Structure 1
Amino acid sequence: MKMINLVNRAGVFTLILLFVFQSCSSSNDTGDDTPVNPAPTNLTIQVDVIGKTAENPNGDGSGKIKLTLNATNALSYKVLINNELKEITTGELTYEFTASGTNNYPISVSAYNGTKFINTSTTVNVFVARKIIWADEFNVDGAPDTSKWGYNTGTGDGWGNNELQYYTTRSENVKIEGGLLKITAIREDYMGSKYTSTRMLTKGKFSFKYGRAEVRAKLPAGGGTWPAFWLLGDNIDTVPWPGCGEIDILESVGNNPNVIHSSLHSPGRSGNTPDTKTTTAPNSTTEFHIYAAEWSAESIKFFVDDNLFYTYKNSSTTPFNANFFVIINFAMGGNFGGAVDPNFKSATYEVDYVRVYN
């Protein structure tokens, strides 16, 4: 009895398959060429700038926009915006620009149905208000904040510059006092070196791509002193210097007081780089000045007290289009610092704040 039922069921299943096959064959015989995945058509892009008003036609400064995409037969979209590729299926995308100022951005959109697609493009003007994305105001006395700063210690074989100091984390060399970060270089015999000092960095704690970095500082005095504020490529562990790139916002040497150097180092333009300019900061060892760089995909601009003195033309072929971290250090002597005054005993590099803006 069970065997008969199985046979009957098998026969019925076979008839169903034959019917489906014949139906499909009959349908194909009609010559209907309707594609299974028709290409999308009628692609439109609606761009809404958040906070846009008659008084603020480029938005409220948040840098946010909302894209609404629509196309007949589209199952997914690809959006190229600010050199980033976004893939979505809903037809809606919210995006936030971070480069400060008012900028015009191209937007390219492709609508897909399987392998078939169409594309179109538009542009949008967006205003982004400048805001701080990272800072240390050095307002708490004691050691620097370890959540923000790490250290390079030791001689580093002269750190590639034949420098003379041994970098430490001792309070004698680095501390926060009275709202200031104080890095002090001392003439002393220490671990085989004749001088001690400190080199602080945000590697592994903070890095950024594009924006404004600035320091308000009073520089140390004395022949052989070499304070600096600079940025180094975050990929230095896998792309050794100078491939990782270096942006020197502030360098000054006591043997040539009040002269401020800003430079860039990259492959083929390292060491004695041609990408460098100088300006003066009067009374730099007795007064505070603001040293800054504004960095974008198009340029890197260097300022002292908001006076622009050097513009470097950036491009996609340089290392200066990836994340960089911040370094503050006070070196002694070396290839750039030069001879140390034989009467030198100590000097202090004072920093009021370090700020990084979008």
Structure 2
Amino acid sequence: MGEGASPRASPSDAAALPRTSSVTTFRAPFLAPSSRPSSSLWTPPAYVAHGSAVSLPSLPMKARPVMPSSRLEGKLTADDKPWVGRKDGWARASYWLTVLGVLVGLGCAGVICWRGYAGVHILKDAQLCLVLDEEFDTLDTTNTWNYDVELGGFGNGEFQMTTDSSTNIYTQNGELYIMPTLSTDAGIDIFNGGTYTLTDCTSQNSSACSTSADSSSYQVINPVQSARINTQGKYSIAYGKVEVRAKLPTGDWLWPAVWMLPENATYGAWPLSGEIDIMEARGNALAYGAQGVNYARSSLNYGPLAAVQKKIYGWQSNKRAGFNEGFHVYAMEWDETFMRFYLDNRLHTMLDLSISSKESFWNRGHFPATAMNNSATPVVVTDPWSSSGPSAPFDQEFYLIIDLAAGGTSGWFPDNVGNKPWYDSSATAMYNFAQAQDTWAATWPSSADDRAFRVDYVKMWKKC
């Protein structure tokens, strides 16, 4: 082979040449990721002709004409297809039944939507007359509000004393602040301070005005100071609407509430005359296992005897944010035929009740025929509202209460949940709560804007 000459491969040598083009290109999509070409675009295999690679252009596929059948001698006539001319009755019936079913379904859906819309309980503006419009530019305790000043626990074994001090209740920037503080911050020795008498106590019960501290007997002065106000004797409604715009407090074992009690207790002492809770909540964090500050609840409480009670309740909740992060409207609408509680708007219903002879509060209670009622022998449970309508006991004048409690032994904070430092049934419950002050007080913000129960406005309407 001369120098500079181009070598020619024999046919046998050509047959032995590797087809590198087909190996590297065609197999690329099936190789392991580490051995694929760097490009993510796949190209079709090249065609090798006489040792050189020629890329074939991609051409559009041409549609082939439909080939005539070789089994038929000619085009079929109508006589050859008798099924075309004969109508299938079952097929027609199936078609029209389907159409009818669709129409009936649409009609039923329309009726359900209409009944749902028409059945929403609502009081129209024309049915309401404004009774109270409180913007809290000042706190008028002469014509609008009363202080509740006592330390007896208000029937719930609450651990705070309520005061009329400007430290615990005041107005600022057109808002009401109910601010919980520590009794120790006021210089009170809650464990060994001896007898403590609450100034300006409003209770007729002397035990709710004075207490004593003695650590040797596990007696303690209420470790928290807060406040509570009401409109008793000044503003009340029997049927109407209530709106309260408020921001809930932050802090373990705080218990804000907006609620109502009967003006005259027509049917007897609690619970015979009922209690309306427009909003109750807890200041505990979202992770608290018994509904923390991201839950707000409404409820009705009533019963024919002190030991025979019924609670009807419902709530609204947020998944990722508490009601302590901003203001919300807590509302109730109420007449002879319904009671509806909601948050911010009527779509966020917490509790919605229809009232009728079949759905009276006596029938809803499912009360037993007899009960012990804190007595040695059973007593007959009778209907104390039998002479009234189905909305009894919620057919009388109720006044409004706004308060911020701390702890308690009523069960609002369940035992063994959220590292609760006391047991409701314990005689030393308040003492145990006070002993854990360093723990729970650390969850109370230093800022009054976050710790306080803040109320922007209160509005009450009566049904005209």
* TM-score > 0.5, shorter chain as reference: yes
SS at match of 1:128: helix
Superposition pairs of residues 46-195 of structure 1, within 5 angstroms: 100-101=123-124, 128-140=126-138, 143-156=139-152, 158-189=153-184, 191=196, 192-195=221-224
Shift of 1:129: 4.8
Q: Secondary structure at the match of 2:237?
A: coil
User: Which of residues 300, 309, 313 in structure 2 aligns to 1:276?
Assistant: 313
Partners of 2:281 and 2:140 in 1: CA distance: 23
For the 8 Å contact 1:184–1:349, the answer to whether it is kept is yes
Aligned residue in 2 for 1:323: 397
Structure 1 Cα separation of the partners of residues 127 and 396 of structure 2: 22
Aligned match of 1:249: 278
Contact between 2:272 and 2:305, CA under 8 Å: does it hold in 1?
no
Match of 1:259 in 2: 295
Q: How many residues are paired up?
A: 232
**Which residue is equivalent to 2:78?**
none
Q: Percent sequence identity over matched residues? A: 32
Question: For residues 289-317 of structure 1, what are the alpha-carbon distances to aligned partners after superposition, in whole Å with 9 as ceiling and x for unaligned?
Answer: 00001011111101000122311234424
Q: Given the alignment of the two structures, is residue 343 of structure 1 paired with residue 380 of structure 2, yes or no?
A: no
CA distance in 1, matches of 2:123, 2:444: 44
Q: Distance in 2 between matches of 1:337 and 1:135?
A: 33
Contact 1:186 1:345 in 2 (8 A): no
Which segments of 5 or more consecutive residues in structure 2 lack a partner in the other structure? 1-121, 189-195, 197-220, 285-291, 361-388, 415-419, 421-432, 434-439, 446-450
Structure with more helix by fraction = 2
Higher strand share: 1
Change (3 A) 1:269 1:295: farther
Preserved contact between residue 128 and residue 240 of structure 2 (Cα < 8 Å):
no
Taking only aligned residues, the RMSD between alpha carbons, in angstroms, comes to 2.4
Letter in 2 for 1:343: A
Within 5 Å, which residues of 2 pair with 1:174-253? 174-189=169-184, 191=196, 192-236=221-265, 239-253=268-282
SS at match of 1:193: coil
- Work out whether residues 271 and 309 of structure 2, in 8 Å CA contact, stay in contact via their aligned partners in 1: no
CA–CA separation in structure 2 for the residues paired with 1:129 and 1:136: 20
TM-superposed CA distance for 1:215, in Å, is 0.4
Question: Quick one: distance in 2 between partners of 1:292 and 1:160?
Answer: 25
Query: Residue type matched to 1:227 in 2?
Result: P
Residues 283 and 133 of structure 1, relative CA distance in 2, 3 Å threshold: same
Does 1:304 find its partner at 2:367? no
Instruction: Pick closer, same or farther for the CA change 1:159–1:290 going to 2, 3 Å.
Output: same
Aligned 8 A contact 2:159 2:222 in 1: yes
The answer to whether the 8 A contact 1:187-1:345 is kept is no
TM-score by length of structure 1 reads 0.60
Per the alignment, do residues 166 and 234 of structure 1 end up closer, same or farther by CA in structure 2, a change over 3 Å counting?
same
TM-score by length of 2: 0.47
- Partner in structure 1 of residue 44 of structure 2: none
* Contact map agreement 2:239 2:395 (CA 8 A) in 1: yes
Query: 1:199-235 CA deviation, whole Å, 9 max, x = no partner?
Result: 1000111111101111000000111000000111111
- Structure 1 residues 144-186: Cα deviation after superposition (integer angstroms, max 9, x where no partner): 4431000211112x21111100010000010011000000111
